[in-house]
Amino acid sequence: MASQPVFKRTYVRTKPYPERKTRIINELRELFSKHETVFVINLHETSNRVLQEYRFWLRRRGAKIVKAKNTLVLIALRQLMGSVSEEIERIFTGENLLIFTNENPFELAKWIWETGVRREAMPGDVAPFDLVVPAGNTNMGPGPIMSKFGKLKIPIKVQDGKIWVVRDTVVAKKGDKINEDAAEILKKLNVKPIFETLNIKAAIIKSKYVITTDELRIDTKTYRTMIEEAARGAFNLAVNTAYPAPEVLRVSIAKAYMEAINLAVNARYVTPETAQYILIRATMEANALAAVIAPKAPELGLQVAQQARTEATQAATESKPEEKRAEEEKKEGPSEEEIASGLSSLFGG
């Protein structure tokens, strides 16, 4: 027997919404239409103090903070957009807070995570760093609290009717859970080691696109490095293809000039720009020949003075612009040291 098709029931409201709910839905619909982004914040286990701190600073940034029932929010979105995706429906569960903003969602998310509100430690909290009870006067009188110092192995003494801590003492290492005694001591010393931030569920863009929490956490340094590398690669490609852009032509023209000079020198084509390099190269070749012949035929009196060669090398190096030297190092042919040695041969003793 063939199975019967299963039809999903859809609830259709026939009665009008109460006036108060209608007003809230209209306000939400207007907020969604006026703001590019809405952050959905999970309020579970978020302290009221932290919430009030963020309310104050977010309002100063021009954001609108609203707390409304999920059903009313979804009704407002359906009225505005016609329909709501399953992904957005899954977001609106539990107790939520809405932050309407026109800021860049990645920048605002980064600010929320970096602007933690400090609070006192509670038993079970994880220490974000080594928690230290500092040496000095605690301003607490002797009493049952002294036993808690003993349990935590904090050296103390009583002086002038007050409990003094003898030396700095770690009561919880980074990553350890804070026990009840440590939490009480830290609270009495007014130490607030826990940074609490708003728990972002997601950001909804233009009332339909969802950016998850993981997608909001971008590594700006990595992206900056990637962009810089891409820019360098694009510029190098543009130079090699002689792309006619003002930033590129400066380098392309200089590169073409140096290549033309190199070609002319290798071809022995004499111009005012190439004459000195052609003469230096010819001298280098003559000097190389003399260096080979001199030991074998001392009667010819050929000499290659080391001191003159060194001075000529320095002079030739200092007289050339940095860009020319860098280009010539890459070219085939004689090195600057070889050319300079030819000059020293001419003027040596």
Predicted confidence (pLDDT) per residue in 55-72, tens digit: 999 999 999 999 999 999
pLDDT attached to residue 341: 46
Helix or strand or coil: residue 203?
strand
Pairwise pLDDT comparison (244 vs 165), residue with the higher score: 165
Average pLDDT over every residue of 177-196: 90
Give the confidence band of 3 by pLDDT, cuts at 50, 70, 90.
low
At 342 the pLDDT is 42
- Decide if 315 contacts 340 (C-beta within 8 A): yes
33 or 259, higher pLDDT: 33
- Which of 2-11, 20-29, 53-62 shows the lowest per-residue confidence on average (mean pLDDT)? 2-11
Q: Of the candidates 91, 128, 98, 85, which has an alpha carbon nearest to the alpha carbon of residue 27?
A: 98
How would residue 264 be classed by pLDDT, with cut points 50, 70 and 90?
A: confident
pLDDT band at 334 (very low <50, low <70, confident <90, very high): very low
- Region 300-324: mean pLDDT is 50
Of 108-112, 124-128, 210-214, 336-340, which gets the smallest average pLDDT? Answer: 336-340
Could you tell me which residue, 282 or 173, shows the higher pLDDT?
A: 173
Is 349's pLDDT higher than 70?
Answer: no
pLDDT of 303: 67
pLDDT at 29 over 70: yes
Residue 54 has pLDDT above 60, yes or no: yes
- Maximum CA pair distance of the chain? 123
pLDDT at 5 over 50: yes
Mean pLDDT (the chain) is: 82
Does residue 335 have a pLDDT over 60? no
Question: For residue 41, is pLDDT > 80?
Answer: yes
155 in Cβ contact with 86 (< 8 Å): no
Superfamily classification of domain 19-116+197-218? Ribosomal protein L10, N-terminal RNA-binding domain (3.30.70.1730)
- Does residue 346 register a pLDDT over 50? no
| Domain locations in the chain as residue ranges | 19-116+197-218, 131-194, 224-347
Distances (CA, A) of 172 to 20, 21, 156, 182, 183: 51, 49, 18, 8, 10
The CATH code belonging to domain 131-194 is 3.90.105.20
Could you tell me if 318 and 282 are in contact, meaning their C-beta atoms sit under 8 angstroms apart? no
Q: Which of 170-174, 200-204, 254-258 has the lowest mean pLDDT?
A: 254-258
**How far is it, in rounded angstroms, from Cα 307 to Cα 304?**
9
Question: What is the Cα–Cα distance from 203 to 98, expressed in whole angstroms?
Answer: 10
> What local confidence, expressed as pLDDT, does residue 286 receive?
80
